[in-house]
Amino acid sequence: MKKKILVTGGCGYIGSHTIIELLTQTNFEVLSIDNLSNSSATTLQRIQQITGQTVAHQTLDLCDKVAVDNFFQQYPDLQGVIHFAALKSVPESVANPLLYYENNINSLANLLACCEEYKVNHFIFSSSCSVYGSVQQLPVTENTPLQKAESPYAYTKQIGEEMIKDFVRNNQIQAIALRYFNPVGAHISGLNGEDPINPPTNLVPVITRTAIGLQEKFTVFGSDYPTRDGSALRDYVHVTDIAHAHILALNYLLNHQNTTNFDIFNLGSGKGVTVLEAIEAFVAVAKLTPNYQIGSRRAGDIAAIYSDTSKSEKILGWTPKLGIKEMMESAWKWQQECAKK
């Protein structure tokens, strides 16, 4: 019988790409939960179009403890949970911190309680490079000391990691936190990509939306950073590579290869790309230059961050395969696909 895996946030950006990888690269049966607060059920149709398979999905809020409990009762043979569901906008979290604490912390607490009660012993948590805060020494490893969180959103990820670490001391649960750097791009088919309810503010969708005319222009935030061209430097990593890492992490736990109940892995490309280099990479694939202006720094941004991924490589056997060219190509393909609707 197929092992059942619950993916929370299954209609969202990274969750949907991970479901596609799970359905096409593994023999797991996938169940999805999402409250559609930042996504829509059409994601499920796209997953079906790409994989030819239907995902059992329930639209429910993970903050609703009774609903989560009912779900676990319905599936007593769940083997693991990949927990993507969270609110993730940094500026929104600054404007409305309680919303972020309530949603991201309560949903995690409810899920962990159900995992304990129903003996679902394998848990993967979406963490973020934002837990590192404003670090000075690059690249960052999993042992780099965390600095103060720069936003309530980032703090929910620091708390989430601590909650899981404390929680697994007293039960059978084996957990991994994956710290994503800047996931970008779309499925190679161009048929699935980032499709949030609110217009995105992240660099790559802003570039593609401007190029297609949904946005008149965008601003490069800062030209006086101490980087090779003065614009800020980040570690962009293809969403399909991120998705694949979840399968490796899941198998690592299910095959009892872990030596500790809670471990942390960086997921990045290991390389820094500046904003201007990212734009150049887009221009090279799309053969058109989006309308942009150089502006001042964005509040809360750091100059540079990129990952050391040697631990993920050595222990999970994960190496990202797709570079900035493929990230831009797929993101552009997806943007053009969206324009057809």
Token pair for 12: 């969202």
> Is residue 155 annotated as part of the catalytic site, yes or no?
no
Using CB distances below 5 to 8 A depending on partner kind, what does residue 189 bind out of ligand NAD, ligand WQD, none? none
Q: Are 13 and 239 in contact (CB under 8 A)?
A: yes
Residues near ligand WQD (CB under 6 A), total: 19
Instruction: Report DSSP state, residue 316.
Output: I
Q: Confirm or reject binding of residue 14 to ligand NAD (CB under 6 A).
A: yes
Residue with tokens 């890492």: 245
Considering only residues 282 to 341 of the shown chain, the ones binding ligand WQD according to CB under 6 A are 298, 301
Residues near ligand NAD (CB under 6 A), total: 29
Question: Residue from 22, 23, 29, 39 that binds ligand NAD (CB under 6 A)?
Answer: 39
Question: Residue from 28, 84, 132, 334 that binds ligand NAD (CB under 6 A)?
Answer: 84
**CA dist., res. 256 & res. 272, Å (int):** 34
CB of 288 to ligand NAD, least distance (A): 25
Residue with tokens 């060219």: 325
Considering only residues 105 to 124 of the shown chain, the ones binding ligand NAD according to CB under 6 A are 107
CB of 235 to ligand NAD, least distance (A): 11
Query: Interacting stretch for ligand NAD, rule CB under 6 A, among 56-64, 142-150, 284-292, 326-334?
Result: 56-64
**CA dist., res. 32 & res. 12, Å (int):** 10
CB of 231 to ligand WQD, least distance (A): 7
Residue with tokens 């222009």: 217
Token pair for 209: 């939306």
**CA dist., res. 108 & res. 186, Å (int):** 27
Question: Residue from 81, 140, 206, 322 that binds ligand WQD (CB under 6 A)?
Answer: 206
Token pair for 223: 């030209």
Instruction: Report DSSP state, residue 168.
Output: G
CB of 183 to ligand NAD, least distance (A): 5
Considering only residues 39 to 98 of the shown chain, the ones binding ligand WQD according to CB under 6 A are 88, 90
Write the DSSP string, 41-98.
THHHHHHHHHHS---EEEE--TT-HHHHHHHHHH-TTEEEEEE------HHHHHH-HH
- Distances in whole angstroms, Cα of residue 18 to Cα of each of 25, 30, 242, 328: 10, 10, 8, 19
Q: Confirm or reject binding of residue 221 to ligand WQD (CB under 6 A).
A: yes
Distance of CA 158 to the CA centre of its chain: 15
Question: Residue from 55, 232, 243, 331 that binds ligand WQD (CB under 6 A)?
Answer: 232
Q: Confirm or reject binding of residue 142 to ligand WQD (CB under 6 A).
A: no
Name which of 301 and 326 has its Cβ closer to ligand WQD. 301
Q: Which residues are catalytic?
A: 153
**Chain contacts with ligand WQD (rule: CB under 6 A):** 88, 90, 128, 130, 154, 182, 201-203, 206, 218-221, 232, 234, 275, 298, 301
